[in-house]
Structure 1
Amino acid sequence: MLPRVHPSGPAGSDLAARPGDHAMSRGLRLLIRAGQPLAVVSLGALSGAGEVLFLIVAGLAWRSRGRAGVLESARQIVAWELRRLSLPPMSADAPRMLGYLVARLLPAALGAVAAGLLLVGLVLAGIVTQAVLTGQMSGAELVMQIVIGSALLALNIQAVASVLRLDRWLAGNLLEPGGREDLEQRITELTTTRAGVMAAVDAERRRIERDLHDGLQQRLVALGMMLGRARRSHDPEQATRLLGQAHDDAQRALDELREVAWRVYPSALDHGTLEDALGMVAHGSAVPVRIDYRLADRPPPQVETVLYFVACEAITNAAKHSGATVIHIDITGDDGEIAMVLRDDGQGGADPTGSGLQGLARRVAALDGRFTLTSPEAGGTTIQVTLPCH
C-alpha cells in the first residue's frame, strides 16, 4: 500500500497560492478596467495642451503657405486621438480635422479639471488617514469625511465618464459626414447618374435612328424598287428572279429589325432567364463564348437587362476589335449583390472613354452598381460589373 503524499514545500505552496493568485489577478484586471477611462481622459488633457501649441503654430504656418505640412500633421494628430478613444479611422477633409482639434480643447480642459480634482481628493484622503492614525480625528468626524469623500468621488467618476463621452461624441460628429451632408452627396450622385442615363438613352436613340436610316430604311427602299421592277417586268423569268431577291431582302430586313428591337429591350428575358438570353447571344457570336451562370434565384428584371446589355456590348467589341479567340462570362451572387466578370484573351487596349463603354458604365451607375474595365496592352480585357439585387 502506497503512502499518501501530502503537498508540502514549494510545490504545496504553489498549489495553495493559486486561488489567491487568481483572485489577485482578477482584482488587478478590474482595477485596470476601472482606471482605463481616467487614463484616457488624462491623456486627452495632455494631448489638448499639445494641440493648443499645434493650432498656434498651424495658424502661423497657414499664413506662410505651409498648408501641406499643417494638414499632414493634423491628420496624424486626429489619427492618434481616434486610437486613444478606441474609435475606427475616419477620413475627413481639412476643415473638419482643424475644426475637431479646436472643439477638442473643451473636453481636454474638462478632463484636466476632473483629473486634477481626483488628485486633490487623493491628497485629502491621505491627510484624513494620517489624522486618524495620529488620533487627531474623532470617529464622528471620520464618518462625516468618508460620506463627503464618497459623494465627491462618485461625482468625480461621473465627470470623467461624461468627459469621455463628450470627447467621443465630438469625434464621431465632427469627423464623419452628417446626415445632411450624406443626403446632399446622395442627391449629387443621383443627379449625376440621372444625367448619365439620359445621355445613354439619347446615344442609344441616335444609334437606333442611324441603324434604321442607314440599314433597314435603305434595304426597304431597295426592296420596294425591286418589287416595282418585278411588277413592271414582262419577262416571267426575270420577275421570278426579282421576287426571289425581294424575298431574301425581306428576310434580311426582318433580321435587322429584330436586332434593332433587341437593342431596345431583349424580349428573350420575358420568356426565359438571363442565362437563356446570353446563350442565344453566344450562339450567334463569331467568337466562342463560355458562360458560367451560378445564380440560385433570378435577379430583378432591371438587373437582368443591364447585365444583358453589358454582356452583348462586350461580346460585340471583342469580336470586332480585340481579336480574341474565346470569351468567358462568370455570373455569381453573394451578400445581396450580383457580380458579372467578362474576360477575353484579345489584344487589350480598350478605350474606357468610348461611347459604348461609357454608356454601359452609366447604365450600371443608374442602379447603384460598380463598373470596372481592365484592358492592358496585349493583356486581354476584363470587365467587372457588380449590381445590388434588391
Structure 2
Amino acid sequence: MKMLHAWLRALYRICEPIRVFTLAAGVALGAATALVGLLYLAVAALAYAVLGFVPRVRQRITGVARRLAEYDRRRVERFLGGAPAGVVTDARAVGYLAVRVPLGALGGTVLLLLLYGALTGFAVVVGWIVGRPVDDIEATPFIVVYFAILGVVLLFLAVQGIVGVAALDRRLTRALLGPTEKAHYEQRIAVLSAARAEIVAAVDAERRRIERDLHDGVQQRLVALGMLLGRARRATDPVKADDLLRQAHEESAGVLAELREVAWRVYPSALDDGGLPAALEIVAERSPVPVRVALDVPVRPDPAVETVAYFVVCEAVTNAAKHSRASRVEVGVACLGDVVHVRIQDDGVGGADPTGGGLAGLHRRVTALDGQLHVHSPVGGPTTITAELPCA
C-alpha cells in the first residue's frame, strides 16, 4: 500500500500542470539554444579555419562559447532546477555546446509532436461540433471513446518525454558545467574544516555549561548539605539535631535530582536502554507543553543518528515551551530509505531565529553527520523544524 501511495505521489508530481509547463518552457528554450549553439559551432569552425592564427579572434570565439554555455546553465537552473555553477573553461564550453545539439533536437521533436497532436485533436473536435468531420471521421460513441483514450495515452507519453529530456539536460549540465572533481573536493574539505571548528567550539561551550551547572547548582547544594550535617553533629538538642538531619536528607534528595538533570542534559541513558522511542517518550513526559510523538522507524538507526535526532527534538520542544507560547507540539520521526526525517511543529507565535544559540548548535550537530536542518518560523507561527539525517 505504501509503494502504491508513493507511486501515485510521484505520478502527481510529474503531471503537475505548473511543473510540466515550466519544464516544457525550459525544454523549448533548450531547443532554441541548441540551434544557436549549432550555428555558433559552424561559424566558429569557419572562423578558425580562416582566422584561427589571430589570437584576438580565438579569444572572442571562445568568449562567445563561454557566454552561451553560462546562459544555458542559467536556463537549466531557472526552468529545470539543479545546475550547480562551476568553472566554465573554453574546452568545457565548446564541448557542452556540441553535446547539447542532439539533446536540443530531441527536446524540440518531442514538443513538435505534442503540438501536432494537440492541433490534430482540436481540429477533430471542432469538425465534430460544426458538422464537418476531418477525414470523414464521424463522432460515434466508439470513436469518441477511442480518441479520448488515445489522446490521454499520447499526452502521458509526451509529458514523460518532456520530463526525460529535462532530466538529461540537468545531468548534462552538471557533468560538463558543474564543479570539477578537484573543486568538489576543495569545497568538501572547506565544509568539513568549518564543521570541525564549529564542533570543537560546541564541545567547549557544552563543557562550560556543565561546569556552570555543577558550580552554581550541585556544588552549592553540596556545601549547604555539609553545613547542615556539621550543625547536626554539633547540636546538643536531640530535637534540633533531628530537624537538621531531616533538612540534610531533603537536601541530598535535591542534589541527586539535580545531578540526574545534569546527566540527562549531557546524554540520556534511555537512548542506550530503549532507543529513540523511549528517550522521546521521556521528553514528552517532562515537557510542560503537550507533545505528541509519531515514530515510523522500523529499523533502529546508528547511535550517532539517534543521538542527534534526540537532541533536535529536545531542543525544539524546549524552545517551544520557553519562547513560542505554544499549546501543543507535534513530533514526527520517520525513516525513508537511507535518511531519517525529523519534524517538529508547534502552534506558537513563531519568529524563531535560526542563528540563535540553541538552533545554531543543532545546525552544527546535524551538519556533522552530513545532514540538513531547516527552520521555518514566520511571525505569527507556526514554527516548523525539520532535520534530514543520513543513516547509511
* The two structures share one fold, judged by TM-score above 0.5: yes
Aligned to 1:272: 274
| Pair 70,380 (structure 1): closer, same or farther in 2 beyond 3 Å | farther
- Answering whether residue 197 of structure 2 is matched by residue 195 of structure 1, we say yes
Greater Rg, structure 1 or structure 2? 1
SS at match of 1:234: coil
| Amino acid in structure 1 at the alignment position of 2:181 | G
Kindly, what percent of the aligned residue pairs are identical? Answer: 50
- Answering whether residue 47 of structure 2 is matched by residue 47 of structure 1, we say no
Does 217-226 or 43-52 show the bigger shift? 43-52
| Amino acid in structure 1 at the alignment position of 2:228 | M
Aligned to 1:294: 296
Runs of 4+ residues over 4 Å off in structure 1: 40-45, 49-53, 55-60, 69-74, 77-80, 102-108, 169-174
Deviation of the 1:264 alpha carbon: 2.0
Deviation of the 1:261 alpha carbon: 1.3
Return the alpha-carbon distance in structure 1 between the equivalents of residues 99 and 301 of structure 2.
51
Q: Of the candidates 93, 96, 99, which is equivalent to residue 101 of structure 1?
A: 93
- Could you list the per-position Cα deviations for residues 88-118 of structure 1 after superposition, in whole angstroms to 9, with x for gaps in the alignment? 974334x41666336679999xxxxxxxxxx
- Could you list the per-position Cα deviations for residues 16-70 of structure 1 after superposition, in whole angstroms to 9, with x for gaps in the alignment? xxxxxxxxxxxxxxxxxxxxxxxx99975522256799x989989xxxxxx9x99
Return the alpha-carbon distance in structure 1 between the equivalents of residues 244 and 280 of structure 2.
37
Contact 1:344–1:382 (Cα < 8 Å) also in 2 = yes
| Pair 291,232 (structure 1): closer, same or farther in 2 beyond 3 Å | same
Contact 1:341–1:383 (Cα < 8 Å) also in 2 = yes
- Could you list the per-position Cα deviations for residues 302-341 of structure 1 after superposition, in whole angstroms to 9, with x for gaps in the alignment? 0111111111111211112221111110011112101010
Return the alpha-carbon distance in structure 1 between the equivalents of residues 351 and 34 of structure 2.
57
| Pair 50,236 (structure 1): closer, same or farther in 2 beyond 3 Å | farther
Return the alpha-carbon distance in structure 1 between the equivalents of residues 190 and 72 of structure 2.
31
Q: Of the candidates 325, 328, 332, which is equivalent to residue 326 of structure 1?
A: 328
Q: Of the candidates 66, 75, 80, which is equivalent to residue 70 of structure 2?
A: 75
TM-score norm. by structure 2 comes to: 0.62
Aligned to 1:92: 85
Contact 1:339–1:387 (Cα < 8 Å) also in 2 = yes
- Could you list the per-position Cα deviations for residues 227-281 of structure 1 after superposition, in whole angstroms to 9, with x for gaps in the alignment? 1111111222222122111111111111111111122221111111211111112
| Amino acid in structure 2 at the alignment position of 1:47 | Y
| Pair 334,77 (structure 1): closer, same or farther in 2 beyond 3 Å | closer
SS at match of 1:290: strand
Return the alpha-carbon distance in structure 2 between the equivalents of residues 104 and 381 of structure 1.
44
| Pair 105,310 (structure 1): closer, same or farther in 2 beyond 3 Å | closer
Aligned to 2:260: 258
Does 313-322 or 212-221 show the bigger shift? 313-322
Deviation of the 1:177 alpha carbon: 2.1
Return the alpha-carbon distance in structure 2 between the equivalents of residues 89 and 341 of structure 1.
25
Calculate the aligned-residue CA RMSD, in Å: 3.7
